[in-house]
Amino acid sequence: MIEVYSKALQESISVERIIKKIKGTQEGPTMVFFGGIHGNESAGVFALEKVLKTIDQTNVKGTIYGITGNLNALEQGKRYIDADLNRLWTFDQLAMLDMTPKKHSETQEQIDIYNILKDILKTEKGPFYFIDLHTTSSKTLPFITINDALINRKFSKLFPVPIVLGIEEYLHGPLLSYVNELGYVSLGFESGQHNDKKSITNNIAFINLALHFTSVYQSEEIEKYKKQLQKAAEGLSDMFEVIHLHRILNGDTFEMQLGYKSFEDVKRGNVLALYNNEELKSRYSGKIFMPLYQEKGKEGFFIIRRIRPFFLKLSEWLRYIRADKLFVLMPGITWENKRKEVLRVNLLVAKFLAKPIFHLLGYRSRQLDASHLRISNRERAAKFKMYKNEAWYK
């Protein structure tokens, strides 16, 4: 049991690793909510505690879990103690987890959460939904982040807030990318600024809507929640794609110009930050996204752009017909293994293929070395069959 404090509400609550598990009297999906993977983001924990305690178990179809993230850091109100718990979820790291010496406070947290996760997938029934609740250091409209798989796109379109995809190409090891690589629907929801009261109320609305869309639990106030999020998002509900990240390297100093908020328009040439005491100008026109206004964190800011509906449709179609089969006919491109989810691209040979083409087909890339890209496909991993009978999927 730990104490978590909310600066917004000026109150504390006591929570355990599992805030609450509600097993319904009827069968249905399993919904797993995480709050406080970052310890200075208590809004999700407060919202989960508030919503789950009011739910009448006899009206639940399926199972609901509310899980706390970084207990130690939550108690101290810090993003993390030794290592960012939302950057540790790679397959390599997980394979070594039992052998990792516990020099990090976060190692034990990860072991605990990993065990719960495995247990849920083993003992509960699908379809599974994973939702991770976060807040940001800057002011922001509420928004969803997803890994770019069609099941994620489709489910997240139900919520009246903007959606940002492609962030997984820039972040290494977020929890949800891991869950998504297992093939399940997984959404990140950023509800507002860390210490803003609205971040809690937006989370409450979001949790209720998610339970409603999956038919796990029906609240009577769904219309109210929809309107609330719509208003908070200022009517914006487009899909955006990350086109740039300003990464902060070890030892560098970074100071964001004051006053930027997520989704604000920026023009090429606008001064965005002081980087190593020099003015850093935007190389792109677009919208600024998640500017960093706290000490901890390696991502200075992102630039995002709206994806035009034509390209959304085109990419959907190309994925349905599995056009990526054509890639391996091209020189320099091979499947990494028999599962056909990962391509290796020799850049010296396949120079002509640009990232946007891979993106259209659901691939996200990682540079392996100077001449090779490793690109993995979300579509081929997605367990879309698991969701095909769900009301929102049809």
Chain positions contacting Zn ion, by CB under 5 A = 38, 41, 134
Question: What is the torsional sign of CA 113, 115, 121, 125?
Answer: negative
Question: Minimal distance in Å, beta carbon 351 to Zn ion?
Answer: 37
Of 107 and 193, CB closest to Zn ion? 193
Q: How far is CA 272 from CA 135, 193, 279, 281, in A?
A: 21, 19, 8, 6
- Nearby residues of 387 by Cβ (< 8 Å), 6 or more positions away: 127, 151, 155, 185, 393
Nearer to Zn ion, 41 or 148 (CB): 41
* Distance of alpha carbon 130 from alpha carbon 124, whole angstroms: 13
- State the minimum distance, in angstroms, from the CB of residue 17 to Zn ion: 18
Residues composing the chain: 394
Task: Give the type of residue at 30.
Answer: T
For residue 165, list its beta bridge partners. 146, 241
DSSP string computed for 85-146: GGG---HHHHHTGGGS-TTSHHHHHHHHHHHHHHHHHHHS-SSEEEEEEEEESS----EEEE
Distance of closest approach, residue 281 Cβ to Zn ion, in angstroms: 27
CB of 373 to Zn ion, least distance (A): 28
CB of 192 to Zn ion, least distance (A): 12
Torsion of CA 309, 313, 318, 321, to 10 degrees: 170
In this structure, are residues 272 and 282 in contact, taking their beta carbons and an 8 Å threshold?
yes
Residue number, 134 or 364, with CB nearest to Zn ion:
134
Q: Decide if 232 contacts 44 (C-beta within 8 A).
A: no
Q: What is the 3-state secondary structure (H, E, C) of 38-82?
A: CCCCCHHHHHHHHHHHHCCHHHCEEEEEEEECCHHHHHHCCCCCC
Contact 120, 67 (CB under 8 A): no
- When the beta carbons of 38 and 364 are compared against Zn ion, the nearer one is 38
Closest separation in Å from C-beta 380 to Zn ion? 28
**Burial profile 369-393: b = 16 or more Cβ within 10 angstroms, e = fewer:** eeeebebbbbbbbbbeebbeebeee
* Closer CB to Zn ion, 263 or 327, in the complex: 263
Q: Of 63 and 191, which CB lies nearer to Zn ion in the complex structure? A: 191
Query: Least distance from C-beta 159 to Zn ion, angstroms?
Result: 18
Shorter beta-carbon distance to Zn ion: residue 204 or 307: 204
Indicate the residue among 133 and 360 with the shorter CB distance to Zn ion: 133
Nearest-approach distance from CB 378 to Zn ion, in angstroms = 21
Cα separation, 263 vs 250, whole angstroms? 27
If the CB atoms of residues 70 and 156 are measured against Zn ion, the closer one turns out to be 70
Closer residue to Zn ion, CB minimum distance, 38 or 287: 38
HSE-CB for 259 with a 13 A CA cutoff: 4
CA 70, CA 128: separation in Å to the nearest integer?
22
Q: How far is the CB of 33 from Zn ion (least distance, A)?
A: 14
Helix (H) / strand (E) containing 26: strand 26-35
Closest contact distance (angstroms) between CB of 37 and Zn ion is: 6
